[in-house]
Amino acid sequence: MKKEKQFYRNILLTILLHKKLYVGLWIFFCLLLVFLQILFALVFQNLIDAITAMKLDDLQIQIIYTCMVISGMCVCKYLRQILYAKYQKETFQYMKDFLMKAIFNKQIAIFHEVPDSTYLTYLSSCMTEIQTKFFDSLQAMLYDILLFLGAVFGIFYLNMMMGCVILLMTLMNICVPFLTRKKIMTRTEKSLHMNTIFLSYMKNIIKGADTVKFYGMEEAIHTQFSDINKKQEACKYQLQSVLCLSDTIIFLLNYVTVCVPWFIGAYFVLHGAFHLGTLMGISQLNNNVASPLQDFFTRSSLWQSGLKVMKEVLHTIDLPMIDHTNKIDDVRSITLQSVFYSSQHHKILQDINLTFKAGKKYLLIGESGSGKSSILKMLLRYDAPDKGSIKINGEYEVSQITNVYENMHIITQDNFLFEATLLQNLTLYQTDIREDEVITIMKKVGLSHLIKRLHNQIKEDKIHFSGGEKQRIAIARALLHPSKVLLVDEACSSLDGIMGHQIESLLLTLDVAILIEVAHHVYPDLLPCYDEIIWMKKGQIYKQGSYESLCKDKEFCHFLNLTEV
């Protein structure tokens, strides 16, 4: 637990101090601005004394000094703000890059434990919250502290007794606002949780809009939406109500801090303890005691809630990282030894022992739920076995290999297309793949008719691809990004017989070290092309062997007759 806390603390410090030069310069100009504000109070004191003494020459000199100090403050304020803006730009760019790498550095199984909407929230609205609540509040609070300390020092320099009075008022200002801090933190957390629920619900409903319309679910959906919307706004109101109470308390204390020193100071001026100029100087500095304190505690509440968001983002996205130790250059074999796997107390795989060797093509058949696709998911690390091992080349567990996806690709029945050009969808944004290579591959896989639309944006052009075209695009990707192992999961299940046969034939011609295909519907004339057929039933290997050996089995032939297209 301590190591985990230290890990996140180090990440936070790395992000905060990513640009140390900007941080150092920002602190320097903050200190200089505070010094000039103290100097302004002293000049203001002399200005008032010159007026009360009716000394015109001194007045003129003090006016010049005042203008010089104000000019210096303006320059320092601008430089402080522009440095913070540059720091923020660099830091957020670094942080989002870091988080994005961390997301895609996670194992797929762990990646999918977090809903997609949560990742979207963390990299969009949460970034805004972190910026406004955490970073903006933090830099403002640091400046408030420096300004407060500088003002207190200046007041003690002018008059020790007034310094003690103002410090007493300040201590009262510090203690009272702590009463509402815990409520603010609790309600901020609840509000953030409701925002995530709302986004997830909306994403789900929008995706299912067609179903809602077809089955007349509008009224039921609207009732659900109204309930979630009401809860979300109620959480936001509860947070705002406690923030309003906190602000009001601080507002009252701010006036008390200003007025009491004025009353006491006026008494001392009337009794000749010090000049009016000293009181005015103290009053000027007191503004930099009361006002920063009011801002400090308002911002500290926001900063605490921003820190919670920051921690939540880091904890959700950054752990666990993959151990970057083992890499492979080739795949000679994949071995599953005594593999057991269950999901929700349901046995999926039981004592699976398989070896896939380089240079061979494998076909996994069986009824739905027999565990065929689960084997592919294990190889891709979507799931991990409860017992047993999955090793590549007999050396490394597949879970310990960092470049497994460089050596293993998958084609499914639903291949994802990015909102980009067709060319980018084929090259997957790899700029070292030449366009003429892409065109050659497109012709090879039967996509010649799409060459003229290669540079069209899929979203803008509203390109709709047939199932066969999508599968051919997936095969083209596999050819343009060759891997040692190609996994195929029900790639032709949604295609008609002729198109499915064409795609299957094309897959069998691909030059890969190991081809492992899962199919529910098979084409009898293509079965001899597989080196080994594995028939699965109820999570176990029921029968396996070459087509020549299995076709003599009546039960096997009967099963094929039931499923062939």
The total number of residues shown for the chain amounts to 565
pLDDT along the chain (565 residues), means of 10: 74 88 94 92 82 82 90 95 94 89 78 80 87 92 91 86 82 71 84 90 84 78 90 91 84 78 83 81 80 79 88 70 66 92 88 93 90 90 89 86 84 82 90 91 88 82 71 86 88 75 84 89 88 92 91 85 46
The C-alpha atoms of residue 78 and residue 271 are separated, in whole angstroms, by 43
Whole-angstrom distance, CA of residue 135 vs CA of residue 307: 9
Answer left, alpha or beta for residue 314, where phi above 0 means left and psi between -120 and 50 means alpha.
alpha
- Predicted structure pTM score: 0.65
Distance of CA 263 to the CA centre of its chain: 54
Closest residue by Cα to residue 66 from 80, 52, 51: 51
SS3 readout for 213-242: HHCCCHHHHHHHHHHHHHHHHHHHHHHHHH
Measured at the CA of 172, the angle between CA 166 and CA 177, to 5 degrees, comes to 135
Distances (CA, A) of 461 to 171, 420, 453, 467: 66, 10, 9, 18
Residue 384 CB coordination number (10 Å): 15
The percent helix, strand, coil of the chain (3-state, each to 5) is 65, 10, 20
Cβ atoms of residues 122 and 317 within 8 Å: yes
How far is 131 from 546, CA to CA, in rounded Å?
A: 62
Q: What is the DSSP string of 255-317?
A: HHHHHHHHHHHHHHHHTTSS-HHHHHHHHHHHHHHHHHHHHHHHHHHHHHHHHHHHHHHHHHH
Q: Please say whether the beta carbons of 371 and 348 come within 8 A.
A: yes
Residue 355 has a pLDDT of 93
Q: Cα 559 vs. chain centroid, distance in angstroms? A: 48
> What phi and psi values does residue 514 have, to the nearest 5 degrees?
-135, 130
CA distance 317 to 156: 49
Query: 494, 413 in Cβ contact below 8 A?
Result: yes
Report the distance separating Cα 387 and Cα 351, nearest Å: 9
Classified by CATH at the fold level, domain 333-417+465-563 comes out as Rossmann fold (3.40.50)
Do 480 and 438 form a contact (C-beta atoms < 8 A)?
Answer: yes
Q: What is the pLDDT of residue 137?
A: 92
Instruction: Tell which residue, 475, 501, 477, has the closest CA to residue 488.
Output: 475
- Rounded to whole angstroms, what are the CA distances from 21 to 76, 131, 267? 17, 20, 48
Q: Looking at residue 52, what is its pLDDT?
A: 81
Q: What is the pLDDT of residue 515?
A: 94
C-beta atoms surrounding 204 within 10 Å: 11
pLDDT at 461: 46
Q: Is the dihedral angle over the CA atoms 371, 376, 382, 388 positive or is it negative?
A: positive
* Tokens representing residue 381 in the block: 């690390």
Architecture category of domain 2-318 in CATH: Up-down Bundle (1.20)
Contacts of 474 (CB under 8 A, 6+ apart): 411, 412, 415, 491
What pLDDT sits at residue 317? 61
Tell me how far CA of residue 48 lies from CA of 63, 270, 276, in angstroms. 11, 16, 7
Domain residue extents for the chain = 2-318, 333-417+465-563
